Structure formats: C-alpha cells, structure tokens
Amino acid sequence: MTDLSSGSEQMQFLGRGGEDSDPEETAEWLEALDAVVAHVGKDRAQYLFDCLAEHALALGVESSRARVTPYINTIPRERQAPYPGDLELEERLAAALRWNALAMVVRANKAYGELGGHIASYASAADLFEVGFNHFFRAAAPGAEEGTGGDLVYFQPHSSPGVYARAYLEGFLSVEHLQHYRREIAGPGLCSYPHPWLMPDFWQFPTGSMGIGPINSIYQARFMRYLQNRDLAQTEDRKVWGFFGDGEMDEPESTAALSLAAREGLDNLVFVINCNLQRLDGPVRSNGRIIDELEAQFIGAGWNVIKVLWGSDWDALFARDRTGALLRAFAHTVDGQFQTFSANDGAYNRERFFGQNPELAALAAQLSDEDIDRLRRGGHDVRKLHAAYAKALEHRGQPTVILAKTMKGFGMGAAG
C-alpha cells in the first residue's frame, strides 16, 4: 500500500466511524503494518496489532470491528488436510439425494398445493448434512453396539426432505413413505418436521419450532457431561451436532444459552449454521452482514468460531491477490449485495463485482465467465467443510460453531 489513493480506499471499509479526517495519516499507519507483514511476517504483525489494541483499550479507545475477523475462511488452504473421501462418488450420491428430495416435495405439492416443503432450504443445507453423514456422524461409540452411544444430531427442521431422501437411499424408508410426505396420519408417511413422537424410530429430537433446537442441543450436551461426570454413563466420545438456520438464530431461544455452553466448556457440542443469508420472507440482514454479527456474538459468548465462506476455487484468486483487493471488496459488501451477486451469472459478476477496481479486474482476467459463475460459497465445498468439522472435533475446552456460507436453492437450476 504505497499511494494515498489505495490507503483512503482501504478506509472505505474501515470507516464505520464515518469520514476519514486525515487520509494521509491513515495511509502511514497502514503502510507501517504492511511493511511489518512484508519484511518480518504475519506473526510479528499480529503481536504488534494485539499490543496496539491493548494499549488502545487502556486509553479508552475501542474498535468498532472488535471480534470480527476478515471475511474469509478461518482455515487457510495451507492448513487444510487432504480430503479423505471420494469426491466423484459423493457428488453423485448428493445429486441423487437432491433429486429425490425435490421429487418428493414437488410430487406432494402437485397433489396438494398447500403442503409446502422448503426445498430451497435443503438445497442449501445438503452439503452440510452430507459431510456429516459420510464422514463424521457416528451411530455408535467405538466397540459399542450399533445404535447405542453414538452422536446426537439436531437437524434444521424444514431441511428434513434431505434426511428422508438419504434414509430412502440407505433403505430405511420405502417409496410409500416418500409418497406420503407431510401426510403420515393414515398410514406410512413422513412428518413435516423432525419429531420423535410422530416418527419414534426415526427422529431423535423435535426441532420444528425455530430456536428449540439450538437451546435444547446445548442442554443435551451439558447433560451428557453430567452423566459422564457422575459415572452414570460413558458419554465422553459422543458429540452433539446442531444444524440451524441463520434466520433461526434471531429467535431468542437460539442464543439464550450460548454463554452457558462456553462456561461449561462443552467441547462435545458443534453448531453448524447454514448461512444462506435468507430467511423465509427475505434477507436475514440485507444492509449488514449476518456472518459478522454471528461471529461477534459467538466469540463474545466464549465459543470457538470457524468460518467457511469460500470454496476451493477461490483459493487461487486469494493466492494471486497480493494487494488484498478481495478482502477490501468483501469488507464493504453487504448481504443484500452478496445475494445479488450470487443470483447473477459470471458476466454480471465480472462487471459488477470484479469491475469495481483494476486490481479485482486483473484477478478475474484469467477466468472465463463460466469460471466466475462456478466460484462457490464455502458451504458447498465438501473439502472446506470436512476441514472445518475435523478442526471442530479436535478443539478442546470450548463449544465450536461453524458459520457456513451457502446459497438458498443451490443446484436446483432455473426450473427448480
């Protein structure tokens, strides 16, 4: 960052406090930090940055960006272990699941238009679930009988079509079940939302009323610890997983017990939040950024936070971006704009996102419009998700939340 114009451009995203009254001075501070990163390294820069932040606090100067990290993946490419699965096979399975879920919901609604089924939500959650099913959820603790002592999963309620589709593929449900989606009263069928009273052999937890899943999963994880601590049951290796929506996190119950989970050090608990930036009737935040808000909230409550925002195709762009142009662009893009970018094609994004300045345009110059179109959000990249889940399981002393950026209706195509 050597010229003043780029310094003041950087202020655009730092400048939540208003106008920059002295861009020249701002540029000098930024240049000093750039020089430390370039010549001594990021560790030293972080040390200096932390010292400065502490000193500022002692002077009564607070940062408006406290507790929000840059809008990138928490786990960088170089710290991501190789993917242990079969990408091609898993992709084919996922496509079959998406299709079956869609077919089940569309068929039900053709017969009874009022049945609903939130198929676009499952389309956003599919990869989050599948990485769990394929690689992480355990039906039993090592050496224990199937169905005893395994993990406990709270599923995002209205994404249940995907869980039914998976159960059908595994042979747990019949075609007749799928034909009676949301019509289970008179015979074999499937209830709308997870409920162990309605489907006792299938669902473990009711999660349909938004907010009830997050708070109950925290108390469940705490109770598992209670049983362990009193030698009433062996629960040490068991995990509680919770998949929730970003809109759902606005329910008071969703966040009511977050600090309890941290105080109790519940490292047997993993939340995965499906951040598609949408709720039922509109954007979750629109003029702000829900992922930043959630990050600040969870870090403030004492959780370990892992963000999975960008898919693997972005890695090469980040690697070529020597000036931090992408980070600066993300930093002043709000959710409403992210949604517009993701709803439009490669040509639109080249013009409107990468066309914002010459540095970004240069990054996109090597990509075709199709390449740009294929740049995915991280919640649709199983490699990024796997790395995050693995890190969450390793983490000790705190519960973990994975903020996975996804797209509502991902993979459904125009017809869907």
Ligand X SMILES: Cc1ncc(C[n+]2csc(CCOP(=O)(O)OP(=O)(O)O)c2C)c(N)n1
Q: How far is the CB of 101 from Mg ion (least distance, A)?
A: 17
**CA neighbor of 130 nearest in space, from 236, 272, 238, 290:** 272
Q: Of the two residues 13 and 219, which places its CB atom closer to ligand X in the complex?
A: 219
**Residues engaged in binding Mg ion (CB under 5 A):** 245-247, 276, 278
Q: Which is nearer to Mg ion, 278 or 398 (CB)?
A: 278
In contact, 292 and 399? CB cutoff 8 Å: no
Residue 124 sits in the site that holds ligand X (CB under 6 A):
yes
User: Is residue 343 close enough to count as binding ligand X by CB under 6 A?
Assistant: no
324 binds, among ligand X, Mg ion, none (CB under 5 to 8 A by kind): none
Can you tell me which of 178, 210, 401, 407 binds ligand X, judged by CB under 6 A? 210
Alpha helices in 245-381 (DSSP H): 252-256, 258-263, 290-301, 313-320, 325-331, 335-343, 346-352, 358-365, 369-374
Binder to ligand X among 12, 46, 174, 209 (CB under 6 A)? 209
Q: Is 118 or 289 the residue whose CB approaches ligand X more closely?
A: 118
Is 399 near ligand X (CB under 6 A)? no
Q: Which is nearest to 6 in space by CA: 23, 18, 22, 21?
A: 23
Q: Are 72 and 289 in contact (CB under 8 A)?
A: no
Number of shown-chain residues binding ligand X (CB under 6 A):
20
Closest to Mg ion by CB, 127 or 315: 127
Among residues 341, 367, 344, which one has the least CA distance to residue 353? 341
Q: Is 158 in the site for ligand X (CB under 6 A)?
A: yes
Dihedral-angle region of residue 16 (phi above 0 means left; psi in -120 to 50 means alpha; beta otherwise): alpha
Which residue among 280, 343, 347, 393 contacts ligand X (CB under 6 A)?
Answer: 280
Tokens of 34: 């750039």
Q: Tell me whether residue 339 or residue 349 sits nearer to Mg ion (CB atom).
A: 339
Binding span for ligand X by CB under 6 A among 68-76, 87-95, 279-287, 335-343? 279-287
AA letter at 240: V
160 lies in the binding site for ligand X (CB under 6 A): no
Spatial strand order in the sheet of 304-308: 152-154, 240-245, 269-275, 400-405, 304-308
Pick the piece of the chain touching ligand X (CB under 6 A) from 99-107, 131-139, 241-249, 291-299: 241-249
- The least distance separating ligand X from the CB of residue 262, rounded to whole angstroms, comes to 22
> Residue 379 corresponds to which tokens in the numbers above?
């919640």
Using CB atoms within 10 A of its CB, is residue 365 exposed (0-12), middle (13-18) or buried (19+)? exposed
Positions that interact with ligand X (CB under 6 A): 118, 121, 124, 158, 208-211, 245-248, 251, 274, 276, 278-280, 284, 408
